């Protein structure tokens, strides 16, 4: 139980284009989803917290107009990287809370984005 | 602000050796503490957790004790296997269900 999937697992896009990453909770309803970014040999950096039906809360320093997050249902959140540049190349990971108030997060397998 | 510090890797051990991966935290209040494991090509999985001081989390032979006096949550296993090779992340809770992660420690276990 508590499986989180991400799609695509890897994507290559050209500079200036936009790319959408999906995060789905497969067997539970996730009231809160989180989006992280992970650089090689570095820790996970929280980008934003996404609550179903409301606007995402972005961490300091994360451009909300560049990283658009939509949490349209209890099983789906999307991250769109707009006007991507090579410096946006990274590993993006989502996670979900199983229930409101619980600190336990279940993680997706991640999406490797390469911007050329 | 809140932060988690882990020992740098990679840690290379022979099978059946004893494992310790150090983790210390800084936080206001009383965070919950976690160890996550990331196997090659997979997402992070919760390995164990502790929610209050002196709690011991354990799973799959791994253990970690919440030490408030030393602000530590070191991960230990008495006898590692090749299948334990992975990256291990220490994490603590912050406000709003957020998690703060350490940088991760890669473990390589050899025959």
CB proximity under 8 Å: A 54-73 to B: 57
Cβ of residue B1 closer than 8 Å to a chain A Cβ = no
Widest Cα–Cα separation across chain A: 40
Question: Tens digit of pLDDT per residue, chain A (116 long)?
Answer: 688 999 999 999 999 999 999 999 998 888 889 999 988 777 889 999 998 888 899 999 999 999 999 988 889 999 999 999 999 999 999 999 876 566 778 899 999 999 99
The residues, ordered by sequence, that sit 6+ positions from A109 with a Cβ below 8 Å of its Cβ are A5, A6, A9, B41, B42, B43
Q: Do B103 and A34 touch (CB under 8 A)?
A: no
Nearest-Cα residue of chain B relative to residue A59: B98
pLDDT for B82: 96
Cβ of residue B40 closer than 8 Å to a chain A Cβ = no
Task: Return d(Cα A23, Cα B3) in angstroms, integer.
Answer: 27
């Amino acid at each position: 139980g508590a499986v989180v999937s991400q799609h695509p697992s890897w994507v290559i896009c050209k500079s200036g284009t936009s790319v959408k990453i999906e995060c789905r909770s497969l067997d539970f309803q996730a009231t809160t989803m989180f989006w992280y970014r992970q650089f090689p040999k570095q820790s996970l950096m929280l980008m934003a917290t996404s609550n179903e039906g409301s606007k995402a809360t972005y961490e300091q320093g994360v451009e909300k107009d560049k990283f658009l997050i939509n949490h349209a249902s209890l099983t789906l959140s999307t991250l769109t990287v707009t006007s991507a540049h090579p410096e946006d190349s990274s590993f993006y990971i989502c996670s979900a809370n199983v229930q409101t108030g619980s600190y336990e997060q279940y993680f997706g397998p991640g999406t490797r984005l390469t911007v050329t | 602000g809140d932060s988690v510090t882990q020992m740098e890797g990679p840690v290379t051990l022979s099978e059946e050796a004893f494992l310790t991966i150090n983790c210390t935290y800084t936080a206001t209040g009383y965070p919950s503490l976690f160890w996550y494991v990331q196997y090659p090509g997979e997402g992070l999985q919760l390995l164990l957790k502790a929610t209050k001081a002196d709690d011991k989390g354990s799973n799959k032979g791994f253990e970690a004790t919440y030490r408030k006096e030393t602000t530590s949550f070191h991960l230990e296993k008495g006898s590692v296997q090749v299948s334990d090779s992975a990256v291990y992340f220490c994490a603590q809770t912050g406000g709003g269900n957020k998690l703060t992660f350490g940088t991760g420690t890669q473990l390589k276990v050899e025959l």
